[in-house]
Amino acid sequence: MNSEMLHFLLLPCVVIGLTVFGLFCLRMYRFSNFTVDEASSHCIKINYFRVRNTLHPDQDTHLINTLSPHRFRLFQRKRIGLSVEFLERMTRNARFLRYMGWNELHLSIQSRDRQSRITSQKLLVAAISCQALGFALLVKLHLWMFRMALLPFITPPNFADLVRSGNLLYLYWRARKSALSLARKYGDDVYTRLAEAL
């Protein structure tokens, strides 16, 4: 009875502790007053077509049918490495868009600009979701690389598993759209710089 009660109390305490720690880390590692110009100078350009083609699960079927098992394994390892690179860029950009979103939300509350506040909130939700999903997918890809290195005789992983985890490109596109909408109010040159950076 006591051990059941201990488990019943321990789980919520652990969840609350991890949530508080996560929120503390988000606050501690965030830039304050991160402007649209700073976001455009920190973000790295991403080629959507290459990312989509690399992550698309139909590539697995095509590659299995056209390559030998050995060459498929080598290509799949290279593809996982490219995917890691793309996802790291996307989560990095999402982090800077989140910083920008916090700043824009703060400014919109001060100026009582309802439209900017709504757009800033959309940016924050999309950027945080993009970061969380990107982190989960990066963990999965690193585990795949580890598994392929440790057990080279098993079948290489299938990218359809990543698609089932969530649509990172869609979340990133939503964050990008909201960020560009906020950048438009600063003028065409600011908008163009951010669009080129994203």
- Per the model's pLDDT, the better-predicted residue between 177 and 67 turns out to be 177
Number of separate domains in the chain: 2
Number of residues that this document lists for the chain = 198
Query: Does the pLDDT of residue 2 top 70, yes or no?
Result: no
Q: pLDDT at position 170, please? A: 86
Domain check: are 146 and 191 in the same one?
A: yes
Domain check: are 172 and 78 in the same one?
A: yes
- Per the model's pLDDT, the better-predicted residue between 6 and 37 turns out to be 37
Q: How many CB atoms lie within 10 A of CB 30?
A: 13
Domain check: are 26 and 50 in the same one?
A: no
Percent of the chain with pLDDT over 70: 87
Average pLDDT rounded to a whole number, residues 79-106: 88
Average pLDDT rounded to a whole number, residues 47-64: 77
Domain check: are 7 and 93 in the same one?
A: no
Q: pLDDT at position 126, please? A: 92
Tokens of 155: 């079948």
Q: pLDDT at position 30, please? A: 57
Domain residues for the domain of 10 are: 1-30
Apex 65 CA angle, 59 and 67, nearest 5: 90
- How many whole angstroms separate alpha carbon 46 and alpha carbon 27? 27
Q: pLDDT at position 13, please? A: 75
Placement of tokens 């959309």 in the chain: 122
Quote the mean pLDDT of the chain.
81
Domain check: are 145 and 77 in the same one?
A: yes
Query: Does the pLDDT of residue 33 top 80, yes or no?
Result: no
Lowest mean pLDDT among 26-40, 53-67, 154-168: 26-40
Query: Does the pLDDT of residue 74 top 60, yes or no?
Result: yes
Domain check: are 181 and 166 in the same one?
A: yes
Domain check: are 79 and 7 in the same one?
A: no
- How many whole angstroms separate alpha carbon 103 and alpha carbon 109? 10
C-alpha torsion 46→121→42→81, nearest 10: -40
Lowest mean pLDDT among 3-7, 8-12, 103-107, 169-173: 3-7
Q: Which of helix, strand or coil describes residue 158?
A: coil
Domain check: are 92 and 154 in the same one?
A: yes
Q: Which long-range contacts (CB under 8 A, 24 or more apart) does 162-166 make?
A: 162/55, 162/57, 162/83, 162/137, 163/55, 163/57, 165/133, 165/136, 165/137, 165/140, 166/133, 166/136, 166/137
Placement of tokens 């795949």 in the chain: 144
- Tens digit of each residue's pLDDT (9 = 90 or more) over 150-162: 877 777 777 777 7
Domain check: are 10 and 67 in the same one?
A: no
Domain check: are 26 and 43 in the same one?
A: no
User: Is 137 exposed, middle or buried (CB count within 10 Å of its CB: 0-12, 13-18, 19+)?
Assistant: buried
- How many whole angstroms separate alpha carbon 69 and alpha carbon 54? 19
Q: pLDDT at position 23, please? A: 67
Domain check: are 86 and 20 in the same one?
A: no
Tokens of 48: 């959507």
- Tens digit of each residue's pLDDT (9 = 90 or more) over 131-151: 988 898 888 888 888 888 787
Domain check: are 127 and 51 in the same one?
A: yes
